[in-house]
């Protein structure tokens, strides 16, 4: 997270984070994408910023605020960014538990996206985190 300027997450992820006990877990600015939220709930006004619009317009606005290296969080949000080929780097963490249901990680995208493997690391002898960089044509 040291190289990240800000976090972009969807409403579902934001609401999940808000349900956690304890302190707000982020020290970086958080931008929440939502088409249904009217405003950020009062306890989180100083912690998150609601953004709406097309992804290119949202990114332009965030970049104009000086935030360039963004961490995109939330299944549907990641899928939306992938559909528009707006992901430069993927970090995928695999935990050896089969849930049996849930939101697919990638969903359908209009065309194949090619990524180059950069590295993989193993944590706690079982969690594998792999990094990939997008290869643009």
pLDDT (tens digit per residue) in 81-105: 999 999 999 999 999 988 888 777 7
Residue 102 has a pLDDT of: 77
For residues 55 and 27, what is the distance between their CA atoms, to the nearest angstrom?
A: 23
pTM of this prediction?
0.86
Domain range summary for the chain, segments of one domain joined by +: 6-134
Residue 70 has a pLDDT of: 96
pLDDT (tens digit per residue) in 102-122: 777 788 888 899 999 999 999
Q: 6-134 has which CATH code?
A: 3.40.430.10
For residues 117 and 45, what is the distance between their CA atoms, to the nearest angstrom?
A: 38
pLDDT (tens digit per residue) in 33-67: 998 999 999 889 999 999 999 999 999 999 999 99
């Amino acid at each position: 997270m040291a190289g990240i300027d800000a976090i972009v997450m969807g409403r579902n992820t934001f609401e999940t984070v808000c349900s956690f006990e304890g302190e707000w877990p982020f020290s970086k600015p958080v931008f929440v994408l939502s088409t249904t939220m009217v405003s950020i709930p009062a306890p989180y006004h100083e912690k998150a910023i609601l953004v709406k619009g097309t992804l290119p317009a949202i990114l332009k606005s965030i970049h104009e605020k000086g935030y360039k290296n963004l961490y995109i969080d939330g299944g549907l949000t990641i899928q939306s960014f992938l559909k528009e080929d707006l992901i430069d780097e993927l970090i995928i963490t695999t935990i050896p538990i089969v849930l049996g249901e849930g939101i697919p990680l990638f969903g359908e995208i209009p065309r194949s996206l090619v990524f180059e493997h950069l590295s993989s690391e193993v944590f706690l002898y079982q969690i594998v985190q792999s990094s990939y960089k997008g290869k643009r044509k």
